[in-house]
Amino acid sequence: MSLNASEVQAIRRDFPILSRMMNGRPLGYLDNAATTQKPISVIERLNTFYREQYATVHRGVYTLSQNSTWECDEVRKKCQKFLNARQAEEIIFVRGVTEGINLIAAGYARKFLKAGDEIVISEIEHHANIVPWQRVCEEKGTVLKVIPVNDRGEISLEEYKKILSSRTKIISVAHISNALGTIHPIREMIRLGHNAGAVVVIDGAQGAAHQRTDVQELDCDFYCFSGHKIYGPTGVGVLYGKRELLEKMDPYQFGGEMIERVTFEKTTFAKPPLKFEAGTPAIAQIVGLGPALDYVEKIGFEKIAAYEKELLTEATKKISQVKGVRIIGQASEKAAIISFVMEDVHPHDIGTIVDQSGVAIRTGHHCAQPAMRRFGIPATARASFTFYNLKEEIDVLIGALHHVYEVLK
DSSP state of 389: -
The single residue of 137, 220, 224, 367 carrying the catalytic annotation is 367
For residue 136, CA distances in Å to 92, 228, 306, 323 come to 22, 28, 40, 45
- Reference 229, options 265, 255, 203; nearest CA is 203
Burial of 157 (0-12, 13-18, 19+ CB in 10 A): middle
For residue 241, CA distances in Å to 81, 85, 142, 355, 394 come to 14, 9, 22, 40, 39
- Reference 15, options 34, 43, 35; nearest CA is 43
Q: Are 92 and 225 in contact (CB under 8 A)?
A: no
224 included as an active-site residue: no
For residue 97, CA distances in Å to 92, 206, 368 come to 11, 10, 15
DSSP state of 144: E
For residue 251, CA distances in Å to 6, 95, 114 come to 48, 15, 19
Phi/psi at 68 (5° precision): -65, -40
DSSP state of 271: P
The Cα 340–Cα 379 span in angstroms is: 9
- Residues annotated as part of the active site: 367
